[in-house]
Amino acid sequence: MEQEKFYYDNKIVKLFAYATIFWGLIGMTVGLLAALQLVFPALNFNWAPTTFGRVRPVHTNAVIFAFVGNGIFTGVYYSLQRLCKARMFSDKLSKIHFWGWQLIIVFAALTLFAGFTTSKEYAELEWPLDIAITLIWVVFGWNMFGTILQRRERHLYVAIWFYIATFVTVAVLHIVNSLEIPVSFLKSYSLYAGVQDALVQWWYGHNAVAFFLTTPYLGLMYYFIPKAAERPVYSYRLSIIHFWALIFLYIWAGPHHLLYTALPDWAQSLGVVFSIMLLAPSWGGMINGLLTLRGAWDKVRESVELKFLVVAVTAYGMATFEGPMLSLKNVNAIAHYTDWIVAHVHVGALGWNGFLTFGMLYWLYPKLFGRALYSQKLANFHFWIATIGILFYAIPMYWAGFTQSLMWKEFTAEGFLKYPNFLETVTKLAPLYALRSLGGVLYLAGFVVMIYNLIKTAQLGQPVTDEEAYAAPLTKEYLPHSKDHWHRVIERKPIQMLVWSLVVILIGGIIEMVPTFLIQSNVPTIASVKPYTPLELQGRDIYVREGCYTCHSQMIRPFRSETERYGEYSKAGEFVYDHPFQWGSKRTGPDLARIGGKYPDSWHFNHMEDPTTMSPGSIMPAYPWLIDDVLDVNSTPAKIRVMQTLGVPYPAGFDQIAVKHLTEQATKISQGLKKDGIEVKEDSEIIALIAYLQRLGTDIKAEKTAQN
Partner 1 sequence: MKFINYLESIAGIEIFPLISLLVFSLFFIALIFYVIKADKKYIEHMQQIPFEQESQNK
The residue among 535 and 551 lying less far from ligand HEC, judged by its C-beta, is 551
Backbone torsions φ then ψ of 9, nearest 5 degrees: -85, 105
Min separation Cβ 696 and ligand HEC, Å: 9
Backbone torsions φ then ψ of 454, nearest 5 degrees: -70, -40
57-86 binders of partner 1 (CB under 8 A) = 79, 82-83, 85
3-state helix, strand, coil in the chain (%, to 5): 70, 5, 25
Min separation Cβ 376 and partner 1, Å: 24
620: partner contacted, choices ligand HEC, partner 1, none (Cβ within 5-8 A by kind): ligand HEC
262-301 binders of partner 1 (CB under 8 A) = 262-266, 269-270, 273-274, 277
Q: Which residues contact 364 (CB under 8 A, 6 or more apart)?
A: 13, 17, 74, 78
Min separation Cβ 68 and partner 1, Å: 22
The residue among 16 and 122 lying less far from ligand HEC, judged by its C-beta, is 122
AA letter at 457: T
The residue among 233 and 407 lying less far from partner 1, judged by its C-beta, is 233
Cβ-based neighbour number of residue 496 at 10 Å: 12
210-213 LR contacts (CB < 8 Å, sep 24+): 210/169, 210/250, 210/251, 210/253, 211/165, 211/166, 211/169, 211/170, 211/173, 211/250, 212/64, 212/65, 212/68, 212/69, 212/72, 212/166, 212/170, 213/64, 213/68, 213/348, 213/349, 213/352, 213/353
Beta carbons of 212 and 63 less than 8 angstroms apart:
no
471-490 binders of partner 1 (CB under 8 A) = 471-474, 481-483, 485-488
246-265 binders of partner 1 (CB under 8 A) = 248-249, 252, 262-265
What's the rounded Cα separation, in Å, for the pair 574 and 527? Answer: 10
What's the rounded Cα separation, in Å, for the pair 62 and 160? Answer: 25
| Contact string 9-48 vs partner 1 (x = CB under 8 A) | ----------------------------------------
The residue among 462 and 475 lying less far from partner 1, judged by its C-beta, is 475
Check binding of 696 to partner 1 (CB under 8 A).
no
H or E element in which residue 184 lies = strand 180-184
378-437 binders of partner 1 (CB under 8 A) = none
Q: What DSSP character marks residue 525?
A: P
Beta carbons of 308 and 362 less than 8 angstroms apart:
yes
For the CA atoms of 696, 697, 702, 704, the dihedral, rounded to the nearest 10 degrees, stands at -170
Min separation Cβ 496 and ligand HEC, Å: 48
Min separation Cβ 390 and partner 1, Å: 29
Interface with partner 1 (CB under 8 A), residue from 99, 236, 411, 452 = 236
Distances in Å between the Cα of 360 and the Cα atoms of 308, 436, 583 are 9, 26, 38
Interface with partner 1 (CB under 8 A), residue from 92, 470, 495, 613 = 470
In DSSP terms, 9 is beta-bridged to 466
540: partner contacted, choices partner 1, ligand HEC, none (Cβ within 5-8 A by kind): none
What's the rounded Cα separation, in Å, for the pair 257 and 355? Answer: 26
The residue among 424 and 484 lying less far from ligand HEC, judged by its C-beta, is 424
What's the rounded Cα separation, in Å, for the pair 683 and 628? Answer: 9
488: partner contacted, choices ligand HEC, partner 1, none (Cβ within 5-8 A by kind): partner 1
The residue among 276 and 438 lying less far from partner 1, judged by its C-beta, is 276
Check binding of 507 to partner 1 (CB under 8 A).
yes
611: partner contacted, choices ligand HEC, partner 1, none (Cβ within 5-8 A by kind): ligand HEC
Residue with nearest beta carbon to ligand HEC: 589
AA letter at 598: K
What's the rounded Cα separation, in Å, for the pair 311 and 94? Answer: 31
Check binding of 508 to partner 1 (CB under 8 A).
yes
588: partner contacted, choices ligand HEC, partner 1, none (Cβ within 5-8 A by kind): ligand HEC
Beta carbons of 195 and 582 less than 8 angstroms apart:
no
Question: Applying CB under 8 A, what is the total number of residues that bind partner 1?
Answer: 69
175-214 binders of partner 1 (CB under 8 A) = 195
552: partner contacted, choices ligand HEC, partner 1, none (Cβ within 5-8 A by kind): ligand HEC
615: partner contacted, choices ligand HEC, partner 1, none (Cβ within 5-8 A by kind): ligand HEC
Q: What DSSP character marks residue 583?
A: -
Binding site for ligand HEC (CB under 6 A): 52-53, 422-423, 426, 543, 546, 548, 550-552, 588-590, 592, 595, 598, 611, 615, 618-621, 623, 689, 693
List residues binding partner 1 (CB under 8 A): 1, 3, 79, 82-83, 85, 152-155, 157-159, 195, 223, 226-227, 232-233, 236-237, 240-241, 244-245, 248-249, 252, 262-266, 269-270, 273-274, 277, 469-474, 481-483, 485-488, 504, 507-508, 511, 515-516, 518-519, 522-524, 526, 571-573, 700, 704, 707
